[in-house]
């Protein structure tokens, strides 16, 4: 036997481990379910935590504990691949011991493995961390783990998304607010976060007491709601907020912009009467359809998550909330699945899962129906009967975390953003110095029209300039040579490689403006 606790694997050991796995597959050991005595503290901990869910298996001289079922024989693995060896804290907690993790995938057929590896290679090429660095969109620094730094070009994408949302907020009756970054712990005690979420919060000593950076906006929006009295005539009241949030995620779980400590959500809370819930939820779903289906042309499905064990409040209210959400989902005719016990501690939720160009699913948007927080804050309205009634609160985020959404669309588009979202929409290229004056005139006209344009008039070869622009994934490369100067026209090359000669400058500007205004995806 080998004491793996004292073995330090390196990436060079992958081939050796793979050969041993091949040996197990060829010998086709029977995998038997039985009783295995826990041999170390981790197995003991698993058995205590999962009890009947963990089963004992053995094959050859190996014993292991696993949840669920496994193959009947080791020969059932027809193809596998080992990709990496890395460190991992036990249960993802940095206060626990560091373990060694070997990442691999197994399949029933060689073709399945081949397709998987091809998709994996494509995913690595599209990794937002790689593209973000290449296009100078954002960066990361160990001085602030889990907090992306948006560079000027990445900030353009960020702000364009905010503009999209703000246009819709105006049309859909939202009022935007700006709320503080931290609050006294008494707020979080009232909301229940102190009791249910404190381990995920950054707690700070301030004024001889404890404050916390806010992990979410809902309690502060309840403060806004309670700052004035409300009648049934004021509802629905829709509040939107882009303020930064901080969550104390475990260091080992951080990854690029998909798992962060500092983020901003397109957060919104809607205060309604019970009889308005169904209509308002349908309005939120319509908002989601507009953004995902109409604007980005992304398919999505829905997931209804119900009451967790740590739920706050009366079960009757939970049942009522879940019943309303089910009715709305069934009426929407959008495919959805049920996740038992996965709701937030204050209410059930609908999560929106979008599919990217590689067929991967990402959870971004969410809608949550909440009877509990308003009750804890005594948030009420005066009804038509002159009596006070508890208000109902709808939590909703359309893009979700902007950091996560930008990561997802960066990989979805492989950095080739649609025209309206691109940091650089047009790249002007001169053939020689003789065209610089006309190129600057074109630049000024594009810039004045609101087009994001750059001019490359460096003393470099034309092929190099074109290649550099291609690597930057700009939407249009405009080449200006002697003919263009003589005729006062442009040679315009689209990202797809199609070239148009003799393009009038004013016509080019107008076409760009129209595409940007419509937020078309094919430009």
Residue 423 phi/psi, 5-degree rounding, is -65, -40
| β-pair type (476-480, 426-430) | parallel
Q: Which of 265, 372, 425, 435 is catalytic?
A: 265
Active site residue 105: no
Cβ–Cβ < 8 Å for 213, 365: no
User: CA 506 → CA 39, 457, 503, 519, distances in Å?
Assistant: 77, 22, 9, 20
Q: Which of 128, 193, 214, 218 is catalytic?
A: 218
Q: Which of 269, 427, 452, 493 is catalytic?
A: 269
**Tokens found for residue 280:** 């308002």
Active site residue 195: no
270, exposed or middle or buried, with CB in 10 Å at 0-12, 13-18, 19+?
Answer: buried
Cβ–Cβ < 8 Å for 301, 363: no
Residues 6+ apart with CB under 8 A from 348: 304, 305, 306, 307, 318, 321, 322, 325, 368, 369
- The helix/strand/coil state of 307 is coil
In the numeric block, the tokens 């073709």 are attached to 111
CA–CA dist 213, 180 (Å, integer): 9
Cβ–Cβ < 8 Å for 356, 411: yes
Q: Which of 185, 246, 247, 307 is catalytic?
A: 247
Active site residue 267: yes
Rounded CA Rg of the chain: 28
Active site residue 364: no
CA–CA dist 318, 349 (Å, integer): 11
CA–CA dist 391, 235 (Å, integer): 9
Active site residue 269: yes
CA–CA dist 301, 311 (Å, integer): 25
DSSP structural state of residue 391 = P
> Measured between alpha carbons, how far apart are the two ends of the chain, in Å?
62
In the numeric block, the tokens 């038997």 are attached to 32
CA–CA dist 272, 283 (Å, integer): 13
Q: Which of 128, 246, 307, 395 is catalytic?
A: 395
Active site residue 265: yes
User: CA 397 → CA 5, 41, 191, 215, 432, distances in Å?
Assistant: 44, 42, 19, 14, 50
The secondary structure of 500-516 as a DSSP string is EEEEEHHHHHHHHHHHH
Catalytic residue numbers read 218, 247, 265, 267, 269, 349, 395
């Amino acid at each position: 036997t080998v004491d793996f606790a004292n073995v330090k694997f390196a990436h060079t050991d992958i081939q050796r481990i793979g050969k041993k796995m091949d040996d197990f597959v060829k010998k086709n050991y029977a995998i038997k379910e039985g009783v295995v005595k826990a041999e170390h503290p981790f197995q003991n901990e698993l058995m205590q935590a999962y009890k009947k869910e963990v089963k004992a298996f053995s094959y050859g001289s190996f014993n292991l504990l696993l949840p669920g079922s496994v193959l009947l024989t080791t020969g059932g693995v027809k193809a596998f691949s080992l990709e990496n060896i890395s460190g991992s804290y036990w249960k993802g907690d940095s206060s626990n011991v560091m373990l060694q993790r070997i990442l691999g995938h197994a399949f029933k057929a060689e073709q399945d493995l081949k397709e998987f590896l091809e998709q994996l290679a494509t995913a690595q090429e599209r990794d937002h961390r790689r593209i973000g660095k290449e296009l100078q969109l954002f960066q990361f620094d160990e001085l602030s783990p889990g907090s992306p730094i948006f560079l000027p070009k990445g900030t353009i994408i960020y702000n364009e998304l905010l503009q999209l949302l703000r246009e819709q907020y105006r049309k859909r009756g939202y009022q935007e607010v700006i709320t503080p970054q931290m609050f006294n712990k008494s707020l979080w005690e009232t909301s229940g976060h102190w009791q249910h979420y404190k381990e995920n919060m950054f707690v700070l000593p301030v004024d001889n007491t404890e404050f916390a950076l806010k992990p979410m906006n809902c309690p502060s929006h309840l403060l806004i709601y309670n700052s004035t009295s409300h009648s049934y005539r004021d509802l629905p009241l829709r509040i939107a907020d882009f303020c930064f949030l901080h969550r104390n995620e475990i260091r080992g779980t951080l990854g690029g912009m998909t798992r962060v400590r500092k983020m901003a959500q397109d957060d919104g809370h809607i205060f309604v009467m019970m009889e308005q819930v169904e209509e308002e939820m349908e309005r939120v779903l319509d908002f989601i359809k507009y953004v995902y289906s109409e604007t980005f042309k992304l398919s999505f499905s829905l997931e209804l998550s119900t009451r967790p064990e740590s739920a706050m409040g009366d079960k009757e209210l939970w049942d009522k909330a879940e019943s309303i959400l089910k009715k709305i989902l069934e009426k929407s005719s959008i495919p959805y699945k049920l996740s038992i016990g996965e709701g937030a501690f204050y209410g059930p939720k609908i999560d929106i899962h979008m599919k990217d160009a590689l067929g991967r699913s990402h959870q971004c948007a969410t809608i949550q129906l909440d009877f509990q927080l308003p009750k804890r804050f005594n948030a009420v309205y005066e009804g038509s009967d002159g009596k006070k009634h508890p208000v109902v609160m709808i939590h909703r985020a359309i893009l979700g975390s902007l950091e996560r959404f930008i990561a997802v669309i960066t990989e979805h588009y492989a950095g080739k953003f649609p025209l309206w979202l691109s940091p650089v929409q047009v790249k002007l290229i001169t053939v020689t110095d003789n065209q610089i004056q006309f190129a600057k005139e074109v630049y000024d006209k594009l810039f004045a029209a609101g087009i994001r344009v750059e001019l490359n008039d460096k003393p470099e070869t034309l092929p190099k300039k074109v290649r550099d622009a291609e690597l930057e994934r700009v939407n249009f490369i405009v080449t200006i040579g002697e003919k263009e100067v003589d005729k006062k026209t442009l040679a315009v090359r689209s990202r797809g490689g199609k070239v148009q000669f003799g393009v009038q400058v004013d016509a080019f500007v107008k076409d760009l403006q129209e595409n940007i205004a419509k937020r078309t995806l094919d430009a």
